[in-house]
A and B are shown apart, each in its own frame.
Chain A
């Protein structure tokens, strides 16, 4: 098991109920796990906990052989070696694509930085765009820069918070397939949050269904949605899934 989350609890200081309630998860190395849940179910909160941007009230998080967080230990986000692609990308507006991507390569030599920049730009198909500023890119291109920036420091684990929600439907399907290919080429372990069943199904090795901060179901896409090809039909015959979402 590469990622191991045990008994995670979290409550926002001004909230009354637990936002994350007894969350458990294991992921194999190189696996893609999707967390599927409706709006407000706690998906973003969960990612922020794993990233270290929030401190859980209780629970352990292990990534690789390192304990990220337990009752006696809390590793700051900058020292976790976890990458994240934000919902609105959060590309630094005052930096070029190149500067954005190299931003996380803190202790790398000049030459290594340059090679790495070319590598990731190639990976996301944006060679030649390195001198542009974020506002000079289309939504899909920005999304790919955000991915390249997160991949560049070679994170142990990569987190995605609804990375497609700002894209139109056609682009979404195209990028989704590209993304799976990229993730599989680099072999990075990733967690992917969405409220879209199709996203979940197309991308995931494993799906976790989250509702009100609790896990209600887990399994491979086939186990959860069945093996039928037509998604609308499947939704119709699978009331089990619908009621969960």
Chain B
């Protein structure tokens, strides 16, 4: 069964590779000669700056919160994950709306202080602006991974360094940064994959990247062939990055032992330092969560009357339904596959996890290209057998759900796998020695012991699907709207105020889910 699951994930990617080598047309030659270098340069600049800044902000916050005690620390522990609830594209148009000529900041300056500012300083719709947006709404990836690592792996090292008399800065640079390298790299890779996957921010800010190019050639020029070639090129770049990640992470992989978990005891900060630490956390939290949320709430108050209609409820219904349904399938598949690779030795068992990760690394637009080609050929096949009178699969929500599964299986898989890793195989063996078959043991013992990890995986997949934009834009059936597409369409049509309500709904649902996730983790 797990073999079937895994091949399902491989298929769309394979279909891109196959078509990548088909004959090229004029568009592709044009793109290759004039545009490709722009896409590559823009993508690299984005990745580079966003990577460096998320690493700096993410690790420094994680270190402050793990090692020191200062006002509101308990809240920041999970509050600083909250910016993940705001999809970057929503952040992008919110900030634009705040900063532009008619936005709240310039209006206030003009009306209250009679200052008219140079528009140049307040234009966020450019490369630095996009970098700012990505950093603010993606740094929590680095923050959470590094914090989890610091919390359970490094206690004795850091305590030793303290006993040996190192100062805080010295510990940070000589001990914390080196030992957390693996988790920083892991976090930053997630950030980079998100940046490459993004369509909303770069489209809105008018930056040419691979994803915007795929959309343009495919829908603007109607040229699927060139879109496939762009996707193939992007896949090569991503494979390169994944290999780089392996190298950067290094040979040392710190594994943690369940028995020796000791929590780092935070040192209370005093005087000026206390308030410095607090202001740093509060500053980031305001920029990345409070300010955009307040702005959205204000807009929502202006427009809510328009929305109290059945349409909004059907959009909410759609979104929650597909997210819930897909996340459930994903979680079940994650359990089946990780249980398989846990109990079996050999090559297939080792390869499975790698393949599920592949789906997560490939940007949504690329997966969409693969899935559409795949589904259309299946539909043609069914049609030619005379079973149906029209294309059914490629026009239904099945295709969208399938795409979510391909892309987000890894999210749930990672969580479930780490749960299995923690319990090992001892309990299963003990249960079998007491007369229970593998299946019985699985339901009576393993499933119960990793409940938290399963629930965590489900929530993460659910949030990701809720926010997903590029896949949904391309693959949704006609007239099928989710909160994400709804918000994005309003924003791109210069109806920023109207975009506020669906955006806030996404943020609230995600924030609640994130809180639950944090709660489950803390309890374990």
Contact = CB atoms under 8 A, between A and B. Distances in A.
Quick one: which of B346, B430, B436 has the most chain A CB within 10 A? B430
Q: Main SS of chain B's interface residues? A: helix
B430 A84 contact: yes
A123 interface: no
A78 B436 contact: yes
Nearest to A87: B426
B437 interface: yes
Contacts of A86: 426, 429-430
A90 B431 CA distance: 9
A92 B448 CA distance: 10
A93 interface: yes
Interface in A74-101: 76-79, 81-84, 86, 88, 90, 92-94
A153 B448 contact: no
A103 B449 CA distance: 15
Contact of B437 (A76, A81, A150): A76
A106 interface: yes
B18 interface: no
A21 B436 CA distance: 30
A81 B433 CA distance: 8
A13 B344 CA distance: 12
A150 B435 contact: no
B429 A106 contact: no
A94 B345 contact: no
A153 B345 CA distance: 31
A202 interface: no
B426 A153 contact: no
Contact of A93 (B345, B429, B431, B449): B449
Contact of A94 (B430, B433, B448): B448
Contacts of B444: 103
Contacts of A78: 432-437, 440
A88 B433 contact: no
B433 A82 contact: yes
B432 A53 contact: yes
B105 to A, nearest CB: 54
Nearest to B345: A13
Contacts of A104: 433-436
Contacts of B351: none
A13 B445 CA distance: 27
B434 A153 contact: yes
Contacts of A144: none
Nearest to B436: A78
A76 B435 CA distance: 9
B429 A90 contact: yes
A106 B433 contact: no
Given A13-B345, A76-B437, A78-B437, A90 B430 contact: yes
A9 interface: no
A176 B483 CA distance: 66
B275 interface: no
Contacts of B445: 92
Interface string B332-360: 00000000000001100000000000000
Interface in A46-90: 51, 53, 76-79, 81-84, 86, 88, 90
21 contacts: A13-B345, A51-B433, A53-B429, A77-B429, A77-B433, A78-B433, A78-B434, A78-B435, A79-B435, A83-B433, A84-B429, A84-B430, A84-B433, A86-B426, A92-B427, A94-B449, A103-B434, A103-B436, A104-B434, A150-B433, A153-B434
- The 10 A-B pairs with the shortest beta carbon distances in the complex, nearest first, are A104-B434, A90-B430, A84-B433, A90-B426, A77-B432, A78-B432, A78-B435, A78-B437, A106-B435, A104-B435
Interface of B: 345-346, 426-427, 429-437, 440, 444-445, 448-449
Given A78-B437, A94-B449, 10 more contacts: A76-B432, A81-B435, A86-B429, A88-B426, A90-B429, A93-B449, A103-B434, A104-B436, A106-B435, A106-B436
